[in-house]
Amino acid sequence: MNERTLTLSRERFAFKIGEVARLSHLPVKTIRYYEEIGLLAPTVDRSHSGYRLFNERVLQRLEFIKRSQTLGLSLQEIQSLLQLHDRGELPCPEAKQHLQQKLQAISAQIDALKALQTELQAILNRWQEQPVRRETTICPNIQDGSRESEVGSRE
Amino acid sequence: MNERTLTLSRERFAFKIGEVARLSHLPVKTIRYYEEIGLLAPTVDRSHSGYRLFNERVLQRLEFIKRSQTLGLSLQEIQSLLQLHDRGELPCPEAKQHLQQKLQAISAQIDALKALQTELQAILNRWQEQPVRRETTICPNIQDGSRESEVGSRE
DNA sequence: GGCACCCTCACGTGGCGTCAGCGTAC
DNA sequence: CGTACGCTGACGCCACGTGAGGGTGC
């Protein structure tokens, strides 16, 4: 006749953190962290001995967090969405805004990475295995190629 | 007749951190941080009052650090290159290894970002402004699309 | 009484930025 | 004597991971 059995019969506040971890495939530490920063507030209570007791909605919440994270949202952004949800509103419009911003940021990131890729490839292509030892450089292969960037207009 | 004038005549340990900051276009805090983690050891001394005094080689070193950073190397990797340099060896072979690794990592990052880009675009394309309120979801638009990813064969 | 589980607190990651509260140079 | 510059902590960021040193449930 412990609180587990009692609460399980009503399906409320039945899960200890380890069970939630197994069911959600998230580390215990992560769940504790999410609770600490307030992401799980409406789904968690404490037992008389201080154990976190989660109700079944925590799993849906963790799924939402995981999914939103893989889509590139930060925990702060996710929190603001969850707060809207907890106030009874639909977080979708704000979510859409965030996702559109992410999409733009991702394009920019891809462009930056591609530029870096090109630059790295160029450096490696003209790499000198035994460069002349100069006192003015640490590794002559790694040098500012801003002037060489205009190369390619030959032929 | 301060140490500035004396050392300037020999061009050694003449620069205070603010001058280095101006000449290198790096924030003072950044230079202090680099010195703290040992990146600048052979180019810095202390005055009797505790001020950092840099010799002129620090500028070459900071340039190398900046350049290596923009190429994607971490400060740890840069440090190991500088340590090779300080032991009189050419850091180029190790640098090349690092850069090749970076190139691979960048390709993987680009692929991951492109996948994310596609997924985000798909989600935004089929976005429902006024979705049905379900109790099982927080925002129905943000849902695991693993099964819906095969959509697109209509019309 | 033993073992799995739970708790909090504190510190680490990278690459700095941002105060706060001092001393120093000119 | 001001003021621009220098110094050393300590804390913040982000999303946790790691480990210590304990208490709880069964």
Is some CB atom of chain B closer than 8 A to the CB atom of A142?
Answer: yes
Of B85, B117, B140, which is closest to A103 when you measure between CB atoms? Answer: B117
Is some CB atom of chain A closer than 8 A to the CB atom of B105?
Answer: no
**What's the CA A34/C1' D15 distance, rounded, in angstroms?**
10
Cross-chain residue pair B95–A68, CB shorter than 8 Å: no
Q: What is the overall mean pLDDT for chain B? A: 86
- Percent of residues in chain B assigned helix, strand, coil, to nearest 5: 60, 5, 35
Q: In chain A, what residues touch B90 (CB-CB under 8 Å)? A: 131, 133, 139
Cross-chain residue pair A64–B91, CB shorter than 8 Å: no
Q: pLDDT below 50 — which residues of chain A?
A: 1-10, 147-155
**B153 pLDDT higher than 90:** no
pLDDT for residue B143: 78
Is some CB atom of chain A closer than 8 A to the CB atom of B106?
Answer: yes
Which is higher by pLDDT, A137 or B78? B78
Per-residue model confidence as pLDDT tens digits over A35-78: 999 999 999 999 999 999 999 999 999 999 999 999 999 999 99
**B9 pLDDT higher than 90:** no
**What's the CA B4/C1' D8 distance, rounded, in angstroms?**
23
pTM of the model: 0.84
Residue B128: pLDDT band (50, 70, 90) is confident
Q: Please, which positions of strand D sit below 7 A from a protein CB?
A: 5-8, 14-18, 23-26
CB atoms inside a 10 Å sphere around CB A125: 7
**B105 pLDDT higher than 90:** yes
Average pLDDT over residues B16-33: 97
pLDDT for residue B135: 74
What's chain A look like in SS3? CCHHHHHHHHCCCCECHHHHHHHHCCCHHHHHHHHHCCCCHHHEEECCCCCEEECCHHHHHHHHHHHHHHCCCCHHHHHHHHHHHHCCCCCHHHHHHHHHHHHHHHHHHHHHHHHHHHHHHHHHHCCCCCCCCCCCCCCCCCCCCCCHHHCCCCC
Average pLDDT over residues B68-97: 94
Q: CA dihedral defined by B1, B2, B8, B9, rounded to 10 degrees?
A: 30
pLDDT for residue A146: 56
Is some CB atom of chain B closer than 8 A to the CB atom of A112?
Answer: no
**What's the CA B68/C1' D11 distance, rounded, in angstroms?**
29
The residue of B67, B68, B113, B138 whose CB has the most chain A CBs within 10 angstroms, and thus the best one to mutate to test that interface, is B138
